[in-house]
Amino acid sequence: MKKWMIYWQIIVSTMTLQMKQSFARPMFRFCLICNPIVNTIFLYEMFLTKGPDAFLNHVVLGAGLMGIWGCICFSSVGDINRERWSGTLPLIYVAPGGFGLIVFGKVFGNTIMSLLTFVLSYVTAGVISGQWLYIVNIGYFLVSMVLMIVCFVVVSLCFAYIMMLSRKTELYMNLIEIPLVFICGFTFPVEVLPEWAQAISNLLAPTWAARLLRMSVGQVDKSVYVECTGILVIELLLMVLFTIGLYHWMDKRIRIRATLEVS
Amino acid sequence: MDTVIEVKDVKRDYITTKGWFLRKKKTLTAVDGINFCVNRGEIFGLLGENGAGKTTTIKMLITLLAPTAGVCKVLGFDTYKEADKIRGEINFVFGGEMGVYRRLSARDNLLYFAGLYKIKGKEAKKRTEELLKLVELEDAADRLVETYSKGMIQRLQIARGLINNPKIVFMDEPTVGLDPIGANMLRDIIRKLKEEGRTVLLTTHYMQEADELCDRIAIINKGKMIAMDTPENLKKSYGEKGMDSTLEQVFLALVKKEGV
């Protein structure tokens, strides 16, 4: 068997396992199904007077982005802790398939499954408003969606590796969930934030992924879209490099600090 | 004889910190300069009280932990710096009910781990069936593990630990939680592994089991090695003169002598 086929087999089997395991957990089902529906209803009420553009941008996409980020926090990132408590973390860590690849499979499986939050937000918004939203530029929208998936996979990988170093994962994942929703402008434009906060927003790849997604559902200014895509790609590349470095550093540190198991 | 495990002056400290601002460090030495070698095809026992450093030693050998000092080699490779060269050739079984995916069936657990050990599709299925038969879980193979008894989970752990046909198997109290039939089955598996030329490093609290299975035994107390020899020689050297001492008596005498 060729090397890439072995890697592919590991990613697919991990994705499948992850999807089965995640869906079996009530918390994940809540994040995946209930959360986007409830968020859509509340956001709809909040943006009721802001016109149709805000409705599409901030209600449907906002609830979808909040939902996907919630699933990532409580599954992709939280999974490290679950594996730790079930005693399987050391097993997958020393498996010759490669721990990095296994975590990637988990994160990718979760992110793909979490896309359901967008579908649910779309359907909920349609049902409560009686208006069915129409995407003008399907091509731009698909490109934005792919970039958003890549962005969330990279962000989740980075957080998952950081969580390997600590046993206080649950505390941290609760700490990162809501601030990221605000600072990356998932539910409202980052322009309403103070300037210092906007500077932080612009350094974070999910801000640009959310911006691109918003742009792609309305009238697209090609030059602005290309500029935003460029910034997102650069930020993602930097983050990939940081994540690779982090993985190698973490690989050494966790064996020194003994954080793979529950003490 | 061919040495497959080499432990030289190995030390392992655990450092814990307390507090947010004035962080206080506390160092606990779990393994304190132990030395031993294990030969190919040997069943080697590590005995000691709870907290003696047996599990920490195994964790360093299976590349899970870095030694604080000393040399830890498996199959000639450093367990910290050359972990990737070791991982495919070894496997381990930890006692207890952890280390399996409870929301999957036994078959799915084994197939998943086969994939992680880079075993190809058909071969993985064949190996899974063989192992399910070996640990007598064929009838329950498609049930979710969360419905299993403690002993069944432990048997599944054993099957998982053999999925890659390892050259060396590390077993940390593998008979904990097993009923006499399950424990006997495991002892037969260990003997079979030896017949096949595989090496087993075993820790156990059951002295009779160690006496029956191990070619050589090392006794650890408070992270230090206090004796190492064949079970017969240990009984001869440290047993009561003129009496047929058991390994348990020898163990108790040695540990008491060193001070608990």
Percent over 90 (pLDDT), chain B = 73
pLDDT of A1 > 70? The answer is no
Q: What is the CA radius of gyration of chain A?
A: 19
pLDDT of A175 > 90? The answer is no
Tokens of B183: 């424990």
pLDDT score recorded for residue B71: 95
More confident residue, A129 or A51: A129
Q: What is the DSSP string of B227-247?
A: EEE-HHHHHHHHSPTTS---H
Residue of A nearest to B92 (CA): A91
pLDDT score recorded for residue B259: 63
CA distances from B99 to A203, B96, B110, B125, B178 (A): 39, 8, 12, 21, 16
pLDDT score recorded for residue B29: 93
Interface probe for A, chosen from B77, B86, B93, B118 (most Cβ of A below 10 Å), is: B118
**List of chain B residues whose C-beta atoms are within 8 Å of the C-beta of residue A97:** 115-118
Is A124 within 8 Å of A40 (Cβ atoms)? yes
Is A242 within 8 Å of A249 (Cβ atoms)? no
**List of chain B residues whose C-beta atoms are within 8 Å of the C-beta of residue A252:** 66
pLDDT score recorded for residue B227: 92
Percent over 90 (pLDDT), chain A = 41
- Of the candidates B100, B56, B79, which has an alpha carbon nearest to the alpha carbon of residue B168? B79
Taking the C-alpha atoms of residue B173 and residue B86, their distance in angstroms, rounded to an integer, is 22
Q: What is the mean pLDDT of residues B20-27?
A: 81
Residue of B nearest to A23 (CA): B103
CA distances from A220 to A65, A231, A247, B217, B230 (A): 20, 17, 38, 74, 79
Residue A172: CA count within 13 A, CB half-sphere: 17
Task: Grade residue B76 by pLDDT with cuts at 50, 70 and 90.
Answer: very high
Task: Grade residue B20 by pLDDT with cuts at 50, 70 and 90.
Answer: confident
Residue of A nearest to B109 (CA): A17
Interface probe for B, chosen from A1, A5, A8, A9 (most Cβ of B below 10 Å), is: A9
Is B228 within 8 Å of B38 (Cβ atoms)? no
Taking the C-alpha atoms of residue B176 and residue B182, their distance in angstroms, rounded to an integer, is 10
Average pLDDT, chain B: 92
Phi, psi of A45 (to 5 degrees): -65, -40
Taking the C-alpha atoms of residue B92 and residue B99, their distance in angstroms, rounded to an integer, is 11
Question: 3-class secondary structure for A23-48?
Answer: HCCHHHHHHHHHHHHHHHHHHHHHCC
Nearest-CA distance from B72 to chain A in Å?
A: 14
pLDDT score recorded for residue B1: 62
For A241-256, give one letter per residue: b (16+ CB within 10 A) or e: eebeebbeebeeebbe
Kindly determine whether residue A20 and residue B111, on different chains, have CB atoms separated by under 8 Å.
Answer: no
pLDDT of B260 > 60? The answer is no
Is B199 within 8 Å of B41 (Cβ atoms)? yes
Q: What is the DSSP string of B31-73?
A: EEEEEEEEETT-EEEEEE-TTSSHHHHHHHHTTSS--SEEEEE
Interface probe for A, chosen from B103, B116, B160 (most Cβ of A below 10 Å), is: B116
Nearest CB among A6, A17, A257 relative to B112 is that of A17
Q: What is the mean pLDDT of residues B228-235?
A: 93
pLDDT of B8 > 90? The answer is yes
**List of chain A residues whose C-beta atoms are within 8 Å of the C-beta of residue B15:** 257
Task: Grade residue B41 by pLDDT with cuts at 50, 70 and 90.
Answer: very high
The model's pLDDT over A35-90, given as tens digits with 9 standing for 90+, comes to 999 999 999 888 888 777 677 778 888 889 998 888 887 776 678 888 888 899 99
Nearest-CA distance from A96 to chain B in Å?
A: 5
CB pairs under 8 A between A and B: 76
Task: Grade residue A212 by pLDDT with cuts at 50, 70 and 90.
Answer: very high
pLDDT of B81 > 90? The answer is yes
pLDDT score recorded for residue B91: 96
pLDDT score recorded for residue A5: 86
Kindly determine whether residue B104 and residue A252, on different chains, have CB atoms separated by under 8 Å.
Answer: no
Cβ contacts of A92 within 8 Å, gap of 6 or more: A83, A99, A102, B116
Interface probe for B, chosen from A94, A101, A261 (most Cβ of B below 10 Å), is: A94
pLDDT score recorded for residue B53: 93
pLDDT score recorded for residue B110: 96
Task: Grade residue A218 by pLDDT with cuts at 50, 70 and 90.
Answer: confident
Kindly determine whether residue B99 and residue A88, on different chains, have CB atoms separated by under 8 Å.
Answer: yes
pLDDT of B236 > 70? The answer is yes
Q: What is the mean pLDDT of residues B166-192?
A: 91
Residue B27's SS3 state is strand
pLDDT score recorded for residue A262: 60
What sign has the CA pseudo-torsion A232, A233, A238, A242?
positive
Task: Grade residue B130 by pLDDT with cuts at 50, 70 and 90.
Answer: very high
**List of chain A residues whose C-beta atoms are within 8 Å of the C-beta of residue B102:** 86
pLDDT score recorded for residue B61: 97
What's the residue count for chain B?
260
Kindly determine whether residue A87 and residue B88, on different chains, have CB atoms separated by under 8 Å.
Answer: no
- In order of their start, the domains of chain B are 3-98+176-258 (3.40.50.300)
Cβ contacts of B73 within 8 Å, gap of 6 or more: B5, B6, B7, B8, B79
Q: What is the mean pLDDT of residues A159-176?
A: 77
Kindly determine whether residue B102 and residue A86, on different chains, have CB atoms separated by under 8 Å.
Answer: yes
pLDDT score recorded for residue A219: 81
pLDDT of A174 > 80? The answer is no
Kindly determine whether residue B101 and residue A86, on different chains, have CB atoms separated by under 8 Å.
Answer: yes
More confident residue, A200 or A137: A200
